[in-house]
């Protein structure tokens, strides 16, 4: 059927955009770790296709499209729109989003989108993700939707203004150009596609694809129609526990209600609505066995109720850099924990539950450097199989930075990188083991870490055991010091940092 060919074409256009972005970028976080996502929307902000990139980005495209529709309508052919305001873009400041319009016979028909995590976007902390931020203004430069290209010409004054606020401006400019190239490539491919069919067939195919996705979700949820469930899980902030509370109802919609979750806080664990929506959509997608195009039809099924002013839908200027990273993980944990009560043979035990974010930087040879990485852990054991060791789980889908690249680019010397044996929970099926990753710093630097599951361990299911807690250790002058899950510290030459990520929970009694 022609609608399937057009839908698949759009998906592969989004995937190709990602290939262009990856191969054209210079920062290890984008080039090596694949910390980016690409998609296509129509002129009304409906999702046409998404590449299989980063889960926390993908659902945010839906929210972002709605938030910036008025800016989209003002675009002309050859323009590119840039923004990173989390309260518009749906993630955090490090994710710079580009939108480029696609015109056919002088009429706007679609937009190509891509979102890439730039390692540094300003602010007081290297890599910008600030564990101690009390407002978003301490997390970097906020960019509202602004044109950076007009009639295919880069607007130099805008780029100069932005790069003067970033600590590594050369990397920003190079990676931004890679994003522009990806956008232009996507525009070109969509035009080629429409030339092969027609605009009417293109639009009709989109509607048929929407209906197909909606039917697939409804079919997969049909046996649970009328069911409801609830659960809560927690994030750790010093001695305090922050609550993520969910109530799920499955009827015409897959509805998740977050009433009872903690109020927003003056720390960066707040998750903007786009992150919360992304987390819900990821959890739902995991329940679908069939081929499912990620388009408007899928997202139509989802309903999210998150009270404004809470940790899952904060009011500006609440800081949000780690809500994208840690809170998203805990939202998924809470949803899976609830669903396990009505789908006991479908849901795995909890994964490591943290992206284990490492941010570093300093001055080297007279220039600033910034480093960012997330470190994987163990996935939860499944109802019929062990969990996976040393992997990125749930809301992250990135790779590691190869040690050879990290040591070449930054003043680091890695001392250990191995599986954290026996850190997965016991059970009939064992939870995946975490990772041990250690390095020495060869020059003075500032280190920040934001992580979780240091007090409350990843839960098991059906009698399975809990995964091991996370642990951060600083070794200075041969003396080890255990560090908290969230901190910033000045490192001196020769300091060694050892990071041990949590294992996943086990499933079933052994």
Q: Tell me, what's the pLDDT at 357?
A: 98
Give the mean pLDDT of the chain. Answer: 97
Residue 1 reports pLDDT greater than 80: no
How much is the average pLDDT of 257-266? 98
pLDDT tens digit sequence for 337-383: 999 999 998 999 999 999 999 999 999 999 999 999 999 999 999 99
Please state, in angstroms and rounded to a whole number, the distance separating the CA atoms of residues 473 and 496: 8
Residue 496 reports pLDDT greater than 90: yes
Please state, in angstroms and rounded to a whole number, the distance separating the CA atoms of residues 115 and 19: 13
Domain locations in the chain? 2-212, 348-510
Residue 510 reports pLDDT greater than 90: no
Q: For residue 451, what are the CA distances in angstroms to 125, 454, 490, 507?
A: 16, 8, 18, 24
How much is the average pLDDT of 82-98? 98
Stated length of the chain: 510
Please state, in angstroms and rounded to a whole number, the distance separating the CA atoms of residues 134 and 131: 9
From its phi and psi, is residue 462 left (phi > 0), alpha (psi between -120 and 50) or beta?
A: left
Q: Tell me, what's the pLDDT at 429?
A: 98
Residue 72 reports pLDDT greater than 90: no
Q: Tell me, what's the pLDDT at 44?
A: 95
Residue 216 CB contacts under 8 Å (≥ 6 apart), including other chains: 288, 290, 291, 292
Q: Tell me, what's the pLDDT at 270?
A: 98
> Looking at the whole model, is its pTM more than 0.75?
yes
Please state, in angstroms and rounded to a whole number, the distance separating the CA atoms of residues 510 and 504: 16
Please state, in angstroms and rounded to a whole number, the distance separating the CA atoms of residues 397 and 311: 23
Please state, in angstroms and rounded to a whole number, the distance separating the CA atoms of residues 468 and 454: 9
Residue 397 reports pLDDT greater than 90: no
Please state, in angstroms and rounded to a whole number, the distance separating the CA atoms of residues 253 and 201: 29
End-to-end distance of the chain based on CA atoms, in angstroms? 49
Residue 295 CB contacts under 8 Å (≥ 6 apart), including other chains: 7, 46, 47, 48, 49, 50, 206, 209, 210, 213
Q: Tell me, what's the pLDDT at 73?
A: 84
Provide the token pair at 497: 């940092």
Q: What's phi and psi for 113, nearest 5 deg? A: -125, 140
Provide the token pair at 343: 């789908």
Please state, in angstroms and rounded to a whole number, the distance separating the CA atoms of residues 504 and 458: 6
Computed from CA positions of residues 62, 72, 167, 122, in that sequence, does the dihedral angle turn out positive or negative? negative
Q: Tell me, what's the pLDDT at 469?
A: 98
- Confidence at 69, pLDDT banded by 50, 70, 90: confident
Question: String of b and e for 69-106 (b: at least 16 CB within 10 Å)?
Answer: eebbeebeeebbbbbbbbbbbbbbbbbbbbbbbbbeee
Provide the token pair at 191: 């035009």
């Amino acid at each position: 059927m022609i609608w399937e060919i057009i839908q698949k074409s759009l998906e592969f256009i989004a995937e190709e955009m990602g290939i262009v972005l990856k191969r054209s970028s210079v920062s290890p976080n984008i080039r090596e770790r694949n910390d980016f996502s690409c998609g296509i929307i129509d002129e009304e902000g409906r999702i046409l296709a998404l590449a299989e990139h980063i889960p926390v980005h993908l659902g945010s495209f839906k929210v972002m499209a709605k938030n910036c529709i008025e800016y989209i309508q003002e675009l002309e052919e050859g323009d590119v729109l840039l923004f990173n305001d989390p309260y518009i873009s749906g993630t955090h400041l490090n994710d710079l989003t580009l939108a480029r319009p696609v015109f056919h016979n002088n009429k706007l028909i679609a937009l190509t989108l891509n979102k890439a995590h730039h390692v540094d976007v300003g602010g007081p902390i290297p890599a910008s993700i600030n564990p101690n931020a009390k407002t978003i203004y301490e997390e970097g430069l906020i960019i509202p939707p602004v044109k950076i290209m007009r009639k295919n010409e880069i607007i130099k004054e805008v780029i100069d203004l932005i790069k003067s606020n970033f600590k590594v401006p050369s990397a920003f400019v190079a990676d931004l150009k890679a994003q522009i190239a990806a956008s232009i490539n996507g525009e070109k491919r969509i035009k080629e596609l429409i030339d092969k069919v027609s605009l009417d067939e293109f639009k009709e195919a989109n509607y048929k694809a929407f209906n197909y996705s909606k039917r697939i979700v409804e079919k997969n949820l049909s046996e649970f129609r009328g069911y409801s469930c609830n659960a809560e899980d927690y994030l750790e902030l010093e001695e305090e526990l922050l609550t993520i509370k969910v109530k799920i109802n499955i009827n015409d919609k897959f509805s998740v209600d977050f009433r009872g979750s903690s109020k927003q806080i003056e720390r960066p664990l707040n998750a903007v609505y786009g992150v919360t929506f992304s987390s819900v959509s990821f959890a739902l997608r995991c329940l679908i066995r069939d081929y499912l195009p990620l388009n408007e039809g899928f997202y139509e099924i989802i309903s999210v109720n998150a009270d404004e002013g809470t940790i899952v839908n904060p009011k500006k200027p609440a800081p949000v850099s780690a809500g994208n990273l840690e809170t998203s993980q805990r939202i998924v944990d809470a949803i899976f924990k609830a669903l396990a009560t009505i789908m006991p043979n479908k849901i795995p035990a909890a994964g490591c539950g943290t992206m284990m974010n490492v941010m570093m930087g300093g001055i080297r040879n007279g220039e600033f450097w910034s480093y960012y990485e997330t470190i994987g852990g163990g996935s939860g054991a499944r109802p019929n199989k062990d969990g996976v060791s040393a992997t990125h789980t749930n809301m992250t889908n990135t790779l590691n930075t190869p040690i050879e690249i990290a040591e070449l680019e930054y003043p680091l010397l890695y001392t250990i990188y191995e599986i954290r044996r026996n850190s997965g929970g016991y059970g009939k099926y064992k939870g995946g083991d975490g990772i041990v990753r250690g390095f020495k710093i060869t020059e003075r630097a500032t280190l920040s870490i934001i992580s979780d599951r240091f007090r409350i361990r990843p839960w098991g299911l059906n009698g399975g055991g809990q995964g091991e807690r996370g642990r951060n250790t600083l070794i200075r002058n041969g003396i080890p010091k255990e560090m908290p899950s969230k901190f910033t510290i000045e490192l001196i030459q020769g300091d060694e940092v050892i990071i041990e990520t949590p294992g996943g929970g086990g499933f079933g009694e052994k």
